[in-house]
Amino acid sequence: MLLPNRLEEISSYRILGTLPESTSLERITMGATKTFRVEEIPSDEIPEGDDEMLIPVAHFYKETYSTFGMPFLFKVKQGEPFSHVKERLQKRLEVPDKEFEKVRLCQARFKEVK
């Protein structure tokens, strides 16, 4: 079975948004700090209801403007306990328990992913 793809616009190691499938290649403009990534959407990341959404996840060191690494989209469900979100995030990142204890999570609003 073929999984759907998404085209993500990335700048400074953050996902700025996803472009619709109908976007013409001529309309995509590259920049010094802007890149695009096409990725297959895993079946467990496709929102199935109005109470689910994809949030952009970025890695940063001390300050939110010190981003690094590969950002990604992560599905969350309204009302889902934060402890469950953390467990799923740890599994997604494949980080051992001892190392994940040092990880701090925060909510930072850069720009809404569409």
Question: Is 71 within 8 Å of 15 (Cβ atoms)?
Answer: yes
Is it the case that residue 110 has pLDDT exceeding 60?
no
pLDDT of residue 111: 52
Report the DSSP beta bridge partners of residue 17: 9
Q: Among 22-31, 53-62, 81-90, 102-111, which is the least confidently predicted range?
A: 102-111
pLDDT of residue 114: 44
Mean pLDDT calculated for residue range 82-92: 93
For residue 102, count other CB atoms closer than 10 A to its CB: 7
pLDDT of residue 80: 92
The two tokens of residue 96 are: 């051992």
Percent of the chain with pLDDT over 90: 21
Query: What is the full DSSP assignment across 3-57?
Result: PPEEEEEEETTEEEEEE-TT--GGG----SSEEEEEEE--GGGS--STTEEEEEE
Is it the case that residue 43 has pLDDT exceeding 90?
no
For residue 75, count other CB atoms closer than 10 A to its CB: 19
Residue 3 C-alpha from the chain's centroid? 18
End-to-end alpha-carbon separation of the chain, Å? 26
Is it the case that residue 102 has pLDDT exceeding 80?
yes
